[in-house]
Chain A
Amino acid sequence: MDEQTSSQNEDNNETQLIELAKTKPEGISNSDIKEHMPSLPMLELTTIINKLLKNGTLELFKTKDNNLLYKFKDPSKRGNVKGADNEEKIVYKIVEEAGNKGIWIRDIRFKSNLNMTQLNKVVKSLETKKLIKAVKSVSASKKKVYMLFELEPDNSVTGGAWYQDQDFESEFVDVLNQQCHRFLVERLEEATKQGGGPLLVRNRSYASATDVHKFISDLGISKVSLSIADIESILYTVVLDNNAERITNTNGIFLYKATNKFLTVPGLAKTTCGVCLIIDRCANTGLVNPRACPYLTEWLETS
Chain B
Amino acid sequence: MSVIYGKVVSLIISERFGPVVEKIVSFLFKCQCSPLLYIKRGTELPLSKIKESLCVLIKYRLVNFKPNKNENLANYSLNVENVLLMLRYPYYLNHAKKLFGDQSEMIIEEVLQKGFCSASELIIKVFDKLCNNEERSLTLSQVKEKLVYLVTAKYLTRVPYAKEDKPVPLLTVDEKELTSLPNIDIKTLVMHRKDNSVELPDKNIYWTVNFDRFHQDMRDKIIVAAFNKKFDENAGEIIKIFLRQMYIRTDPWADVSNPVPALEVKDILRKQISASHSLAFFDQYINIISQETSSLLRKAGEASGGSYQIFLKEAFTQFAWELVEQIVLEKYDSKAARIFRLVKLKPYIEPDQLQQLAMIPAKDAKKLSYQLYEDNFLHIQELRKASANNGPVKNFTLFHIKLESVVRMLLETCYKTLFNTMTRCNHEKLQNKRIIDKKHRIDTILMGMKAQNATEEQMADIEDMITLPEKEILENISRIIKKFNTVELEIDQTIFMLQMFLVYQKVN
Indicate whether A162 sits within 8 Å of B323 (C-beta atoms), given known contacts A266-B493, A268-B414, A271-B491. no
Shortest distance in angstroms between A3's beta carbon and chain B's nearest beta carbon? 60
* Across-interface contacts of A260 in B (CB, < 8 A): 229-231
Identity of the chain A residue whose Cβ is nearest the Cβ of B371 in the assembled complex: A277
B338 contacts A296, C-beta separation under 8 Å: no
Indicate whether A266 sits within 8 Å of B417 (C-beta atoms), given known contacts A242-B341, A271-B490. no
A268 contacts B417, C-beta separation under 8 Å: yes
Most buried by A among B229, B284, B417, B480: B417
Closest 5 CB pairs of A and B: A267-B490, A290-B420, A273-B417, A168-B361, A269-B330
In chain B, positions 229-284 with a C-beta closer than 8 Å to chain A are 229-232, 234-235, 280-281, 284
Indicate whether A274 sits within 8 Å of B330 (C-beta atoms), given known contacts A162-B359, A236-B357, A291-B427. yes
* Across-interface contacts of B323 in A (CB, < 8 A): 263, 266
Q: Tell me whether B162 is interfacial, beta carbon within 8 Å.
A: no
Q: Tell me whether B196 is interfacial, beta carbon within 8 Å.
A: no
Q: Mark B55-66, 1 if CB is under 8 A from A, else 0.
A: 000000000000
Indicate whether A268 sits within 8 Å of B494 (C-beta atoms), given known contacts A168-B362, A197-B281. yes
Identity of the chain B residue whose Cβ is nearest the Cβ of A236 in the assembled complex: B357
Q: Tell me whether B327 is interfacial, beta carbon within 8 Å.
A: yes
Number of A residues with CB within 8 Å of any CB on chain B: 49
| Interface segment, one of B32-40, B213-221, B285-293 | B285-293
A262 contacts B331, C-beta separation under 8 Å: no
Shortest distance in angstroms between B114's beta carbon and chain A's nearest beta carbon? 29
Cross-interface CB contact of A290 among B327, B345, B359, B419, cutoff 8 Å: B419
Q: Tell me whether B94 is interfacial, beta carbon within 8 Å.
A: no
Q: Mark B475-491, 1 if CB is under 8 A from A, else 0.
A: 00001100100010111
B322 contacts A261, C-beta separation under 8 Å: yes
* Across-interface contacts of B360 in A (CB, < 8 A): 168, 170
A268–B288 alpha-carbon span in the complex (Å) = 31
Residue numbers of A with Cβ under 8 A of B are 139, 162, 167-168, 170, 173, 177, 197-200, 202, 233-234, 236-237, 240-242, 245, 247, 259-271, 273-275, 277, 279-280, 282, 284, 289-291, 293, 296, 300, 303
A300–B482 alpha-carbon span in the complex (Å) = 11
Other than the given A170-B361, A267-B494, A296-B424, 8 more pairs (CB < 8 A) read A197-B281, A260-B231, A262-B229, A263-B229, A268-B327, A293-B424, A300-B428, A300-B483
A135–B445 alpha-carbon span in the complex (Å) = 87
Indicate whether A266 sits within 8 Å of B413 (C-beta atoms), given known contacts A173-B359, A241-B341, A284-B423. no
Indicate whether A296 sits within 8 Å of B359 (C-beta atoms), given known contacts A260-B230, A274-B331. no
Shortest distance in angstroms between A2's beta carbon and chain B's nearest beta carbon? 64
In chain B, positions 482-508 with a C-beta closer than 8 Å to chain A are 483, 487, 489-494, 497
Q: Mark B411-445, 1 if CB is under 8 A from A, else 0.
A: 00110110111011001100000000000000000
Identity of the chain B residue whose Cβ is nearest the Cβ of A265 in the assembled complex: B326
Q: Tell me whether B155 is interfacial, beta carbon within 8 Å.
A: no
A240 contacts B345, C-beta separation under 8 Å: yes
A230–B68 alpha-carbon span in the complex (Å) = 71
Q: Compute the total of residue contacts between A and B using a CB distance below 8 Å.
A: 156
A284–B424 alpha-carbon span in the complex (Å) = 10
A8–B137 alpha-carbon span in the complex (Å) = 117
Q: Tell me whether B337 is interfacial, beta carbon within 8 Å.
A: yes
Most buried by B among A162, A262, A300: A262
Q: Tell me whether B364 is interfacial, beta carbon within 8 Å.
A: yes
* Across-interface contacts of A168 in B (CB, < 8 A): 360-362
Q: Tell me whether B325 is interfacial, beta carbon within 8 Å.
A: yes
A259–B230 alpha-carbon span in the complex (Å) = 7
Shortest distance in angstroms between A124's beta carbon and chain B's nearest beta carbon? 29
* Across-interface contacts of A289 in B (CB, < 8 A): 423
Indicate whether A197 sits within 8 Å of B410 (C-beta atoms), given known contacts A237-B359, A262-B318. no
Identity of the chain B residue whose Cβ is nearest the Cβ of A263 in the assembled complex: B322
B359 contacts A273, C-beta separation under 8 Å: no
Chosen A-B contacts, 17 in total, with CB atoms closer than 8 Å, are A198-B285, A202-B288, A247-B293, A262-B318, A262-B322, A263-B226, A263-B229, A265-B326, A265-B330, A267-B487, A268-B410, A269-B330, A271-B421, A275-B331, A279-B416, A279-B417, A284-B423
* Across-interface contacts of B375 in A (CB, < 8 A): 280
A268 contacts B229, C-beta separation under 8 Å: no
Cross-interface CB contact of A267 among B232, B322, B334, B491, cutoff 8 Å: B491
A290–B487 alpha-carbon span in the complex (Å) = 15
A262 contacts B417, C-beta separation under 8 Å: no
* Across-interface contacts of B362 in A (CB, < 8 A): 139, 168
A168–B330 alpha-carbon span in the complex (Å) = 25
A109–B450 alpha-carbon span in the complex (Å) = 101
A291 contacts B423, C-beta separation under 8 Å: yes
Q: Mark B65-102, 1 if CB is under 8 A from A, else 0.
A: 00000000000000000000000000000000000000
* Across-interface contacts of A275 in B (CB, < 8 A): 327, 330-331
